[in-house]
Amino acid sequence: MGYMQISPNALSPWGLQHCLYHYTYMGLRNGDNFWFFLTTVGESRVYGYRFFGGRWNQYSIALRDIVSFNCSPIPTLY
């Protein structure tokens, strides 16, 4: 499985469902880019954890503010 990249025009709550419980690189409309651990996808917001201040903190993002996201694949040990 490779990385999933979504263009801004394709952004919907259903597209983000594939990133649940994965580290996801988020790009926001304001120019912020960061790693986010996605735990819940709502109709207008996503919820999870963002690393800042030296620790993981609960965080939510409005769907309208997300311009891109990239899910990391689950590593396998073979």
CATH code where residue 40 lies: 2.30.30.100
Whether 77 maps to a domain, the answer reads no
Whether 37 maps to a domain, the answer reads yes
- Per-residue confidence band for 75, with pLDDT thresholds at 50, 70 and 90: low
Backbone φ and ψ of 54, nearest 5°: 80, 10
Give the model confidence (pLDDT) of 2-37 as tens digits: 444 544 444 667 788 889 999 999 999 999 999 999
Domain that holds residue 9: 4-71
> How many structural domains does the chain have?
1
55-62, strands of its sheet edge to edge: 4-6, 66-71, 23-28, 33-41, 45-52, 55-62
